[in-house]
Amino acid sequence: MFEPHGSELADLARGHANTAHQLQLRADALKLRGFAASATVYSRMADESDTQATVCEMALQFEQLAGLA
């Protein structure tokens, strides 16, 4: 089972945040071109990546508060 901690969590959080940003840019471009359904899918994927980034960040903060990281 993969259980990241410390710097691995920070890297994962950063990666998920970058993915969320890229997906949102694609969603915006698709919406601008009139592909509303596809834009909605990309926007939802961006939200999921952002949620994953938040979870990783929270885990890292809990580790830091507990003195584990």
Domain ranges of the chain: 7-65
pLDDT, position 69: 65
pTM of the predicted structure, to 2 decimals:
0.86
Q: What is the pLDDT along the chain (69 residues), one digit of tens a residue?
A: 678 888 999 999 999 999 999 999 999 999 999 999 999 999 999 999 999 999 999 999 999 999 876
Give the separation between CA 20 and CA 5, rounded to whole angstroms. Answer: 21
